[in-house]
Structure 1
């Protein structure tokens, strides 16, 4: 926990730890009487503390702690010295990190730690024993793997490995987790020869040494960035790999980054084997957009047996919808399937009796309009939101859309205030009518996303954030939040002018005020970071899956005095003037947010700060020393959540899930077992569809995963249902296709 020195100041975690240029250490493990190899200090099992004994160096603090805590642990008696017969004296001595019951010494397993300046190091470790091969050695250095299940033989008794971990807590930790009777012989710790600041993996999902991982999932690496993001072109099968740990067999996979360029995602093209150990690695061949190489990384995890599917199962069926960057899908009033693309097309397909698609019609209205008006990036535009007007008929459909500049990756530079809402109508949806212009937009892929008509006839809009965690940060072009960012907006069509678009830019030279009487576009709920999709359930609730931030974002600090924005918060009518809490900012928050599904309620807050609205606290704050819902441990203990936070309406969709498309299943398949449940598409770590139960009060149950037919997609973005058949259509951005899911009978 970081100490708070000044209310309103920033709590600073370094955006990137630098290699220390002076600290180094060499430790020879053995017995209390061992004379260490020249240049090495001796460790013979003492509890962690300052070392002052003979042959233990000068000014060093190291020793042993518990396997699951930092309580000092005395393992004296676990050292062994096999004599001088070994060619390498360093390998002739050792300490048991995990002592078998039959051996003399301390049976409690322990970790070894040494106090070091924070930074990135080159660490070489060795395991083995001259007289015994009854071990399965494992060593984890910080949060990555060095030695994984090395079983010695009479011919190969030792294994030596080198890793480059980053220390951020002042202690380098070496753990035998995952091993059996692990014996450590020596360790060397040296600063990197290259003092350049490099991007690197911060954590992975599944985390290092995880057991029971889903065989259908992906591996997602959360990053510590230096520049604007990952260079996707350098993510190849040679630079990012997944291999079976025992055999070294490579897993066929697709490697991508997120739209924000802030993760590395490895997605196997088929499911992984059950109950199998895998090694995930990132090499220095991966680079950021400024050409900096990544610090190498390696971690291991073991899959579980998978989950049962019960009575619900779908069959995947290929369709003719291929070769496009499909984003969103919706069934029209004409019983046809409409699919938008990230470059501005809408494809319309006839749906056959068996659910397959045919007769593709290409609608280029958005691209034609962009070219005619000379919009940035024309003719390309990204169409995310699609919602048919309630007055639409089969003969005269009217389609509302969101239109954004297209972010194709690379250095982020998309123009702010460049998103819009439009209406397509007329023959072939060929008439483009812009109704809302100059919505805010991030430099990357946070934009004006999906649309849904509510039971009140209003149009509800998912508006993305401009940055990671509420305050400007370099990875997101240092662009601040504006008044309409990170929110669910409400558009009342009855308040639109008879002609012309409403300019909703809220900052100079714009003058739009969503709080003004008769404003057509207003704030419905706030703090919704980057909701891709939203759905009005038949129970009257509005649900929206929402992407949380990767690690490394900045949160805003509350200023003194409070700004004028605090007089117009959306909860001011019911809660009065805003007076706090006052919170510090966090710079480069080292902990990623989870993804969410929100049960959105009018005038409530859902955790993404926006200083333009007098919203300062990220997620659940850090109110107690215990574990609290959606807590942010970078805050000092006692940091209360925003008074308007609707914690009861926040549900966990999974870390790095990229929870995107959502639909309420309305079909009667499986005896109605799926009816009324929420189906949420996870683009990233799951690459699947998870299912949330919905009770009579609208509360969601924990999600179910692993349903047959709901796994193994390639970067799925959206889902829609043909309620007449109970079939589903899923857009797979990674495969440039739309997949049909038929209920299995």
Structure 2
């Protein structure tokens, strides 16, 4: 729903004249015709007999590029194995009882940067004492292969991309791995094909939560992955040892820029799993993805403690629910992706009944012939502070609906409106012509503040601040990527407030008495926001996936630099000057921001004289929220509120948020932030809040707060401490009821 953005660079095309075939054996081995010999020499230019011409290859340490001599680790099984390619091999990890070099090593060969089909073979005719593993670059080829009488060898092919001039094979994760032969060939046309860039969890990761999901970060050449090609046949998750397929939902984000594999019943603790993405996955232009394979091992199941919830079917199903909240009339309200507002009575046990469908927004869209009518996407919902049980007034955000596929949603097409009157049947547009992206970044949530103003989370138009083709080359606007503040007392007496800031519009949020102003900037794509009882405004925010573009600081500085939100506090803006980045190679994490007035939170916007992504790269060491694509010494924006930035998890898609206010669990949860993670976690994480409003690292794995299907939002019925979670992937609202734990009994 509120996915990540990324840029378009594809994998580098390999030099199509380069290929190699290596036969591993002893110093006296005569390699099979067409192959060159490796018998354990340190990495260097090869000049010996049967070692080709102009090739550089050999062995290095497991954790460094230091050349390693494994001469003596080769074996030849002779006539016991009639296939000469399999009869000879080399121990990558030699047991203590065998003659040779006991230090394990990796094998490398110098190759032009590019994408290759790499085929590896492991095994041994006369011995079954191995659990073979081969990692090729950042992918897995062989995992835990144990030979048997009926299967002595295993051969596998992967398609890794090399970017450092060396193709690397590692036995990490194996025991006494025996490498027989390798063939390397370029993948023709790889630079025009989409691919997996990286996965979370990464290849060979251990201690992975059994309750999360697997997310592949994509390297696109077009507008996004075709969701129709994602299935259990094209993307698989299996137990590595048994090959048992894990039942899972395979989906993408609203932006079409990730592949998310969500097990329907969680994973087993302490178990190895293999993710495979095949060429059956295609992008929206019909181009097949390069194949991918990786493995990871789960840790313990977690859970326990004094907080636990039980999941219960609420009775609300069959809609693409986005946001949810309890109304002043004691009923539960939920918005939908296609423009409905639903409401239910809440029974004494928390379940929902007497469903009512309110079509006011869709009716208005049809009457005004809005783009995509009658569909509209409602995310923001907030009841007016003056609402009563008999006369509720609901403020909403209304956006053109992005159904997925080729992105082309019109800019300046989002709005804020009020629903009032009997059954909320009266539609009153309050703010018109808010910006929006071509995909699913739009005008998101609403929250009334303690000052009576309405606070609005407005999404970014692109990935990392500069236009990119995946996001329709749409630039940031003056009001995008920000938390906005609307003062209802300053609204015009009649008609909506037109806030289009570019021709033919002329709205100026800096003007005296402007009703809609910039409260905080650089907030990339915040789905939700909440005013805590401590007076702080918190907003979970989606960071970008890898591949986006950032803007360069122009010289001279533009006129927008005289109207930054921090000019009053810090004076005229003079820098720093930063270079543009294209196809940023690393993803941003997701955040929870402790939002403060007139501060900046890391998403560049040239129209506001904001140029630096996240924390920049100020030192040669590790820096908070750094962007290593910048040259070392690149300072963060002077207005960055680093102390108000908290890590919600890579590819989390941190979305809905509440402050838990009930007294359940003896008050153990009261005052804490509950943040919904739509993507990699598919759960609700819990942040502690101290007396200064600072957040502690999140707690995950709480019983009852895991195993959702693309959850988006959460709300609390404070009377009972029950939670209601919208699950977009399951078209339902799930009820969570506090339950006693052993710690409470």
TM-score class, shorter? over 0.9
2:438 is the counterpart of 1:446:
no
Taking the TM superposition and a 5 Å limit, the aligned residue runs for 1:339-358 are 339-358=334-353
Q: State the distance in 2 between where 1:510 and 1:317 align.
A: 49
Aligned to 1:236, what secondary structure does the other structure show? coil
Larger deviation: 469-478 or 104-113? 104-113
Residue 129 (structure 2) aligns with: 134
Residue 409 (structure 1) aligns with: 404
Residue 209 (structure 1) aligns with: 204
Taking the TM superposition and a 5 Å limit, the aligned residue runs for 1:148-167 are 148-167=143-162
Q: State the distance in 1 between where 2:65 and 2:324 align.
A: 51
2:250 is the counterpart of 1:255:
yes
Larger deviation: 577-586 or 47-56? 47-56
Q: State the distance in 2 between where 1:95 and 1:634 align.
A: 39
Taking the TM superposition and a 5 Å limit, the aligned residue runs for 1:493-512 are 493-512=488-507
Residue 654 (structure 1) aligns with: 649
2:307 is the counterpart of 1:312:
yes
Shift of 1:153: 2.3
Aligned to 1:462, what secondary structure does the other structure show? strand
Q: State the distance in 2 between where 1:732 and 1:191 align.
A: 43
Residue 743 (structure 2) aligns with: none
Shift of 1:382: 0.3
**RMSD value over aligned CA atoms?**
1.5
Residue 3 (structure 2) aligns with: none
Taking the TM superposition and a 5 Å limit, the aligned residue runs for 1:545-560 are 545-560=540-555
Please report the TM-score for the alignment, with normalisation by the length of structure 2: 0.96
Q: State the distance in 2 between where 1:371 and 1:390 align.
A: 29
Taking the TM superposition and a 5 Å limit, the aligned residue runs for 1:694-705 are 694-705=689-700
- 1:320-368 residue CA offsets vs partner (Å, 9 max, x unmatched): 2110010000111111111000100000111111111111111111111
2:508 is the counterpart of 1:513:
yes
- 1:591-615 residue CA offsets vs partner (Å, 9 max, x unmatched): 1111111111111111111111111
Please point out which of 591, 600, 613 is paired with 1:605.
600
Pair 1:214–1:570, CA change in 2 (3 A): same
Please point out which of 288, 291, 299 is paired with 2:286.
291
Aligned to 2:726, what secondary structure does the other structure show? strand
Check whether the contact 1:20–1:120 (CA below 8 A) recurs between aligned residues: no
Q: State the distance in 1 between where 2:702 and 2:51 align.
A: 57
Aligned to 1:585, what secondary structure does the other structure show? coil
Shift of 1:521: 0.8
Q: State the distance in 1 between where 2:188 and 2:220 align.
A: 20
2:61 is the counterpart of 1:71:
no
Residue 535 (structure 1) aligns with: 530
Please point out which of 453, 462, 466 is paired with 1:467.
462
Check whether the contact 1:593–1:655 (CA below 8 A) recurs between aligned residues: yes
2:564 is the counterpart of 1:576:
no
Residue 457 (structure 1) aligns with: 452
Residue 274 (structure 2) aligns with: 279
Residue 241 (structure 2) aligns with: 246
Q: State the distance in 2 between where 1:171 and 1:458 align.
A: 58
Check whether the contact 1:492–1:521 (CA below 8 A) recurs between aligned residues: yes
- 1:489-511 residue CA offsets vs partner (Å, 9 max, x unmatched): 11111111111111111111111
Q: State the distance in 1 between where 2:508 and 2:710 align.
A: 38
- 1:596-646 residue CA offsets vs partner (Å, 9 max, x unmatched): 111111111111111111111111112222211111111222222111111
2:88 is the counterpart of 1:93:
yes
Check whether the contact 1:260–1:445 (CA below 8 A) recurs between aligned residues: yes
Shift of 1:236: 1.0
Residue 472 (structure 2) aligns with: 477
2:224 is the counterpart of 1:236:
no
Pair 1:637–1:13, CA change in 2 (3 A): farther
Taking the TM superposition and a 5 Å limit, the aligned residue runs for 1:356-371 are 356-371=351-366
Pair 1:174–1:418, CA change in 2 (3 A): same
Residue 6 (structure 1) aligns with: none
Residue 27 (structure 1) aligns with: 22
- 1:552-585 residue CA offsets vs partner (Å, 9 max, x unmatched): 1111122222211111111111122222221112
Check whether the contact 1:528–1:606 (CA below 8 A) recurs between aligned residues: yes
Check whether the contact 2:13–2:188 (CA below 8 A) recurs between aligned residues: no
Shift of 1:463: 0.4
Q: State the distance in 2 between where 1:101 and 1:60 align.
A: 32
Check whether the contact 1:13–1:586 (CA below 8 A) recurs between aligned residues: no
Shift of 1:14: 4.0
Residue 114 (structure 2) aligns with: 119
Please point out which of 682, 687, 691 is paired with 1:687.
682
Aligned to 2:707, what secondary structure does the other structure show? coil
Q: State the distance in 1 between where 2:98 and 2:518 align.
A: 68
Please point out which of 650, 665, 671 is paired with 2:666.
671
Aligned to 1:275, what secondary structure does the other structure show? coil
- 1:164-191 residue CA offsets vs partner (Å, 9 max, x unmatched): 1111222211111110111111111001
Check whether the contact 2:8–2:220 (CA below 8 A) recurs between aligned residues: no
Q: State the distance in 1 between where 2:288 and 2:97 align.
A: 48
Shift of 1:194: 5.3
Shift of 1:44: 2.2
Residue 186 (structure 2) aligns with: 191
Aligned to 1:587, what secondary structure does the other structure show? coil
Pair 1:297–1:461, CA change in 2 (3 A): same
Q: State the distance in 1 between where 2:234 and 2:10 align.
A: 23
Please point out which of 40, 43, 46 is paired with 1:45.
40
2:172 is the counterpart of 1:173:
no
Check whether the contact 1:548–1:593 (CA below 8 A) recurs between aligned residues: yes
Residue 322 (structure 2) aligns with: 327
Taking the TM superposition and a 5 Å limit, the aligned residue runs for 1:725-736 are 725-736=720-731
Aligned to 1:233, what secondary structure does the other structure show? helix
Shift of 1:196: 6.8
Q: State the distance in 1 between where 2:82 and 2:472 align.
A: 56
Aligned to 1:424, what secondary structure does the other structure show? strand
Q: State the distance in 1 between where 2:44 and 2:412 align.
A: 57
Aligned length in residues: 734
2:57 is the counterpart of 1:62:
yes
- 1:142-181 residue CA offsets vs partner (Å, 9 max, x unmatched): 1111001001124422111111111122221111111011
Aligned to 1:586, what secondary structure does the other structure show? coil
Shift of 1:409: 0.5
Please report the TM-score for the alignment, with normalisation by the length of structure 1: 0.96
Larger deviation: 660-669 or 145-154? 145-154
Q: State the distance in 2 between where 1:564 and 1:33 align.
A: 74
Q: State the distance in 2 between where 1:635 and 1:33 align.
A: 50
Shift of 1:56: 2.0
